Amino acid sequence: MTWPILGSIFISSLLLVLVFLYLIFARPAIWRRNKSRISSFYIAWFSSYFLFVVFFTGPQDFHHYPPRIDSPYKLPWKSGVKRLVVQGNRSFTSHRDRHRYAWDFLMATGTQILAARSGTVIEVSDGYDGIGLNSNFILLEHEDGQRSGYYHIQQKGSLVASGDFVTQGQPIALSGMVGQTMFPHLHFLVFNKEESTSIPVTFNDVLEGVPLAGRFYVSGNVQRP
């Protein structure tokens, strides 16, 4: 299923919540008269929604992921700091298709993003500002050809230039809220050599290897000057 379908289900659910609140607070008479009918509808809708989220989003099969212990990646922020994963791999709305193996880490605008792995900067885009179609990002290429991407960074928020070699833990950008986003966060993912698709990776500093949506993780990525 593609994101327009997923997005529609998500937005419909959001609207249904608003309608529900409107009925209860602004039209209590209608709500009282149709209580059982309205309740059954909402229970049916949201239990299907819940089943859908549980069975059709999130990592499908952990066997696709490389072992955590060999992983060259660490969480892309300062060690000791705990952050929430708002969306994980194969998420409900936007982590699909080419961005299926992405994570959204909640991060206040202006937070230093550290390189998850040493590599060469191959692309920097930090000219955009505000919410819209175009996002700022930084792309690193690693020794085995894998490429890691850091998205939604602040306008003029890059701390590196194309061609620079950066080591793991080096600050590379300031996070932001630019592009297709509704809250400040870092969208992180690793692409294959051809950049045709994202690939499943693990983080060396995450005990279970794969961060999951709705959970907090403490980084073990020691900042380097």
Residues making contact with Zn ion (CB under 5 A): 102, 104, 187
Residue number closest to Zn ion, CB atom: 187
Residue partners of 141: CB distance under 8 A and separation at least 6: 119, 120, 122, 147
| Residue with smaller CB distance to Zn ion, 125 or 223 | 125
CB of 24 to Zn ion, least distance (A): 33
Residue 203 exposure: Cα atoms within 13 Å on the Cβ side: 25
CB of 184 to Zn ion, least distance (A): 12
| Residue with smaller CB distance to Zn ion, 28 or 130 | 130
| Residue with smaller CB distance to Zn ion, 142 or 187 | 187
CB of 140 to Zn ion, least distance (A): 17
| Residue with smaller CB distance to Zn ion, 174 or 213 | 213
CB of 52 to Zn ion, least distance (A): 19
What 3-state class would DSSP assign to 87? Answer: strand
Dihedral sign for Cα 64, 67, 70, 76, please. positive
Residue partners of 120: CB distance under 8 A and separation at least 6: 140, 141, 163, 164, 165, 166
